[in-house]
Amino acid sequence: MIGKRRKKTLNRELWLMFSAVLILFVVTFVVTSTFVSQRASYDYEIRESETTINGVSGSVTASIGTYKNLSRLVMLNKEAVTLLRAKNATISMINDARYGVMDVMNATTNLDSIFIFRNDGDFMNTGKGLYDLDLTLMKKPAWRNRILKERGGAIIMINAGGAIQRSNKEPIVTIARAIYDINSQKLTGMLLMNFSTSMLDAAINNQGGQRLCIVTSDGTFLSGDESVAAYFTEEFISGTIVHRMVDVDGKRVMISGYEIPDTPLIVMSYTDSSVSILNNTTMYALFALVLVSIVAILMIANFIARNITKPIADLTGAIELTKKSGYLEKIKVEMPDNEIGTLSENYNGMVEHVNQLFTELIEKEKSVQRAEMRVLHEQIKPHFLYNSMETIGYMALNDGAMDVHEALETLGSFYRNFLSKGDRDIPLSREINIIKDYLSIQKLRYGDIIIDEYDIAPEVMDWQIPKLILQPVVENSIYHGIRLKGEPGVIKITGYAEDGFLHLIVYDSGLGMSQEVIDKMLSTEPGDDRMEMDTSDVAKHLLSGFGLRGTIERVRYFCGRDDVVKIRSEEGEYAEIEFIIPVRVN
């Protein structure tokens, strides 16, 4: 009897304890559900506003990107380039440029007007309305420097920073660029491309019935729901979305704002905070689900422990072992014959597939790099051909047909070796022939100012090297060394073998390079091909384009390592470039 009483008491205590836990759970559930409901509502509003704002921002950014591309077409327009290059602009030139630009302008409906200003103040414009120009403002250094400091890059302004205003006072968004001559890289003018706010309207309309607007960084309304613009504050001028709660007619309203990157445009949204995400029906359903879950948990806990938890722990342990190995390996732990076992088999299959993909990806990456090098190789500018043809033309006028014939033979030999039947790697002997032909033609232009010398060991003449790695170096020696020094100079090419490596050295007695430029030239860090310090135009040219920096990258790729180039120089005296290439005989 005592045992029976103890059993009933234990059962009663168990139920009392369970009831107390259940009551506590219900109370906690009600309290937390209320808080979660409010928090969920707030989070929902944030997600909705951020999704909407990001959608508008992305659409506007994409549209601006399209107009930036159009602005590049305008800058490259043949008639516009002719107008900018002319010493004096004529009415005919201006009209030709206007018609040429209109072809670009007709490609889009939102483009409002295009202005091209020459350095002497003359300008060409075409547009869909009347405009008031503040030419005095445009001559001020503050206004000009804002555009010039981008070095040809695009800058977004409203009403051209106050310099252009539509006669009907409707705002316009301006893409401004400084225009540089593609050959001389000298400033030739400025481009102001203006588009109407209808582009902004389209971005907002794509978001459906959301209350949105776009304002400038000073709060001026541009597009959308103008009533939302009344809530603008400077805190919305931010690179991240800012949310602010305000009271409107007794309701809590969320106002969100975000500055579109690289523009003076602010996107704002208005979200009603009174919307409840969890209604009563949902709350009751959740409460019932909790009660059922309590019973279900007790029933399935043991099953889960025996059939799921332990096998998963074993599976996790096996996966941890593969992490330590540094390579994805198949699981070798015995698993039950159920879904966990199937998961193990699928994991093993995935590991095999992923390893195969890694191998394929590596091979594809190598192919891409090889393709990129081929593209880079084809990007050498043809200015040498043009200069050579010009020289031969002068010879035809002054010296007679025999000189022309000899010059053409030299030029033909150069390009036959240059093309090399499409080969990417050629013998050193052919590369030396290219240099000799190249310097022979350059001497036609510069005469005795260039003295070339060669010290090449005969045994290295058949070594395979990347085609055209010496010509860019010799070209730099002429144009940025000897020619700028203003006196005759020596270019000496040395080649010899040592410890299984080919040493190719190009020496010139020109201006040389500073240590700062050498360090940048040899840097392997991404982005170091752009000069961040204040240096000369020669140094900037050396670090850009196909020239010496591109050649160094090609040699590094060919050799599969970085320490294959050495540069020695003394400013005002000489420069010496050395390539160290492993043996590769055809």
DSSP state of 585: B
Under the banding of pLDDT at 50, 70 and 90, the label for residue 443 is: confident
Look up residue 177 and give its two tokens: 């660029």
What's the whole-number mean pLDDT along residues 245-255?
85
377 pLDDT more than 90 = no
pLDDT at 417: 56
Alpha helices in 135-246 (DSSP H): 135-138, 141-148, 198-205
What's the whole-number mean pLDDT along residues 437-460?
88
Enumerate domains of the chain plus CATH numbers. Answer: 7-278 (3.30.450.20), 280-376 (no CATH), 447-582 (3.30.565.10)
**Strand pairing class (187-196; 111-118):** antiparallel
For the chain, the average pLDDT equals 79
pLDDT at 539: 47
Under the banding of pLDDT at 50, 70 and 90, the label for residue 330 is: confident
Look up residue 87 and give its two tokens: 């010493």
- pLDDT exceeding 70 applies to what percent of the chain? 70
DSSP state of 116: E
Higher pLDDT, 77 or 107: 77
Q: Which of 1-5, 369-373, 413-417, 513-517 has the lowest mean pLDDT?
A: 1-5
Give whichever of 176-190, 271-285, 302-316, 328-342 has the largest mean pLDDT: 176-190
pLDDT at 419: 53
- Per DSSP, the three-state class of 281 is helix
Higher pLDDT, 505 or 47: 505
Look up residue 413 and give its two tokens: 């030999």
Question: Tens digit of pLDDT for each residue in 394-436?
Answer: 666 566 655 665 665 666 656 555 554 556 788 999 999 889 9
Higher pLDDT, 377 or 56: 56
What's the whole-number mean pLDDT along residues 471-481?
90
Under the banding of pLDDT at 50, 70 and 90, the label for residue 553 is: confident
Q: Which of 99-103, 338-342, 391-395, 501-505 has the lowest mean pLDDT?
A: 391-395
pLDDT at 173: 93
Higher pLDDT, 451 or 210: 451
224 pLDDT more than 70 = yes
Closest listed residue to residue 505, CA positions, set 449, 565, 573, 423: 565
Give whichever of 231-235, 306-310, 554-558 has the largest mean pLDDT: 231-235
Quick check: 204 and 212 in contact, CB under 8 A? Answer: yes
Q: Which helix (H) or strand (E) holds 531?
A: none
163 pLDDT more than 50 = yes
What's the whole-number mean pLDDT along residues 299-325?
67
Length reported for the chain: 586
**Strand pairing class (489-498; 450-456):** parallel
Under the banding of pLDDT at 50, 70 and 90, the label for residue 242 is: very high
pLDDT at 112: 87
Residue 193: partners with Cβ closer than 8 Å, 6 or more residues away:
67, 70, 71, 74, 111, 113, 114, 115, 174, 175, 176, 177
Closest listed residue to residue 406, CA positions, set 443, 380, 435: 443
